[in-house]
Amino acid sequence: MSLKIMHSGDIHLGRKFSRYHQELSKKLEDARYETLKNIIIEANNRGCNLFVIAGDLFDKFTMLDKDVIKTINILDEFSGDTVLVLPGNHDNKNIDAWKIFKENITGRILFLEEEKKYNLNRFDLDIDIYPAPCDSKHSAENKLKWIKELKERDNANYEIGIAHGAIKGVSPDMTDSYFTMKKDELRNLNMDLWLMGHTHIPIPVTEANIIYDKKIYNAGTPEPDGFDCKHKGSVWYIEINRKEEIKAEKIIMGKYSFEELKREINTEDGLNNLLKEIKNNNPENKLVRFNLFGRIDQEVHDKKNEYYNRIEEITAYARIIDDDLNLKITKEKIKEEFPVDSFPYQFLNELMGEDKTLEIAYELIQEVKE
């Protein structure tokens, strides 16, 4: 019989989005709780034994008591054997929220705050859990030392390590100040699985949704939280059997997506295609940031704000930067700006038909004018 695990992390409940208007900020905050609920529904549908949160369940040091209780109630909906919660660097084991959490959790939720082996025999699971809990927001050293110093380890059917911190060479941690671990360092501890948190992208980094026989997994955030989060938010569903055969499936979970697009616009069709692109796949849950460039004629220039307004109406948020979207240089435009007998007028008319050269010359003349 295989062991079934739903692996998540970096949910960051309680994160605020104050850069957006109040209504959207509240929706983004609530979406993180909705996503947690949906992960548990998915885990229950797949008959998972374990639901693992590899750090940063909470976003900050202070959480309202009612939100901690709300979180516990959601976790209690898991119908498998047990929920394992590891403290991360944002919600390290010293934060106030854990006091309320520990006072109110049921016996099915294990808070992995100690550097010790947790045996899951009481859940009729022959599994040993080796956690590496964070005790601060930053650290130049990871929390694997206690595992390395173990002289003997029992031979449980499955040995699983759970850690929170940067993975060297993969995570964007240039200063090594986030409990950095090396892949070889993890492999040398000979766990059947390592379930990691901290980095907001799923690892292994792969286009495939199903992979086999990898032993190190990083959950990535299940709900995107900004324009630097390019993926749609996901979790890992992992099956492992007694022959140490491992199958992992990446499951998309996020409600909102953040999209940054750069598009060249030269005709009204370009604006229309941009609108069609945004309309696909729940535009009301998209936060988009556009960088538009190109040359458009006066008629399209006069219509562009209509398209911008429509995009803003159908999306959760849109910011459109069109500083590099300029008017086409036509004979009529040149005549409007320069006297017929002037050098710029004659020079630019000579360049008509040589688009790039004309554009460069026009920009240079405009700079001189200024």
CA 335 from chain centre, in angstroms, equals: 51
Residues 245, 273, single domain; the answer is no
Based on the fold, state whether residues 172 and 69 are members of the same structural domain: yes
- For residue 181, give the nearest of 247, 118, 134 by alpha carbon: 134
Clarify whether residues 113 and 146 are in a common domain.
yes
Are 138 and 266 in the same domain?
no
pLDDT score of 49 more than 70: yes
244 plus 264 within the same structural domain: no
The pTM (predicted TM-score) of the whole model is 0.90
pLDDT in tens, 4-19: 999 999 999 999 999 9
Q: Tokens in use for 19?
A: 């850069």
Per-residue pLDDT band at 362 (split at 50, 70, 90): confident
Mean pLDDT value of segment 223-250? 93
Least confident of 195-209, 228-242, 256-270, 356-370: 356-370
Minimum mean pLDDT among 58-67, 307-316, 335-344: which range? 335-344
Residue-wise pLDDT for 278-304, tens only, equals: 998 899 999 999 999 999 998 999 999
Whole-number pLDDT of residue 330: 75
Angstrom distance (rounded) from CA 13 to CA 63: 9
CA 282 to chain centroid, in Å, comes to 18
Least reliable range by pLDDT among 3-17, 90-104, 318-332, 334-348 = 334-348
Q: Please work out, in degrees rounded to the nearest 5, the angle formed at the alpha carbon of residue 282 by the alpha carbons of 277 and 288.
A: 60
- Residue 218 CB burial class (10 angstroms; 0-12, 13-18, ≥19): buried
Helix (H, G, I), strand (E, B) or coil at 50: strand
Backbone angles phi, psi at 171, to 5 degrees: -80, 145
How many CB atoms within 10 Å of residue 241? Answer: 12
Query: What is the residue range of 140's domain?
Result: 3-252
CATH number of the domain encompassing residue 152: 3.60.21.10
Q: Is the pLDDT of residue 238 over 80?
A: yes
Long-range contacts (CB closer than 8 Å, 24 or more residues apart) made by 324-327: 324/291, 324/292, 324/293, 324/294, 325/265, 325/292, 325/293, 325/294, 325/295, 325/296, 326/294, 326/295, 326/296, 327/295, 327/296, 327/297, 327/298, 327/301
Specify the higher pLDDT residue, 172 or 194. Answer: 194
pLDDT higher than 80, residue 351:
no
CB atoms within 10 A of CB 351: 17
Tokens of 314: 């159908």
Q: Which residues contact 356 (CB under 8 A, 6 or more apart)?
A: none
Quote the DSSP letter at residue 28.
Answer: H
User: How many angstroms separate the CA atoms of 211 and 37, rounded?
Assistant: 25
Task: Pick the last residue of a domain from 216, 235, 252.
Answer: 252
In this structure, the number of other CB atoms found within 10 A of the CB of residue 369 comes to 9
Instruction: Give the residue from 235, 252, 269 where a domain finishes.
Output: 252
Instruction: Work out the number of other CB atoms within 10 angstroms of the CB of residue 321.
Output: 12
Write down which residue in 221, 252, 283 finishes a domain: 252
- For the chain, how are helix, strand and coil distributed in percent, rounded to 5? 30, 25, 45
**Domain match, 118 and 30 both:** yes
Same domain membership, residue 286 and residue 196: no
Residue 80 sits in the same domain as residue 223: yes
Q: What is the pLDDT of residues 76-131, one digit of tens each?
A: 999 999 999 999 999 998 888 999 999 999 899 999 999 999 999 999 999 999 99
Do 319 and 227 lie in a common domain? no
What is the per-residue pLDDT for 57?
98
172: buried, middle or exposed (CB in 10 Å: 19+, 13-18, 0-12)? exposed
Q: What is the mean pLDDT of the chain?
A: 93
**pLDDT exceeds cutoff 90 at 173:** no
Q: For residues 363 and 52, what is the distance between their CA atoms, to the nearest angstrom?
A: 58
pLDDT at 369 over 80: no
* 334 shares a domain with 297: yes
Number of structural domains in the chain: 2
274 and 228 in a single domain? The answer is no
Question: Does residue 174 register a pLDDT over 80?
Answer: no
Q: pLDDT tier at 370 (50, 70, 90 boundaries)? A: low
Same domain, 211 and 303: no
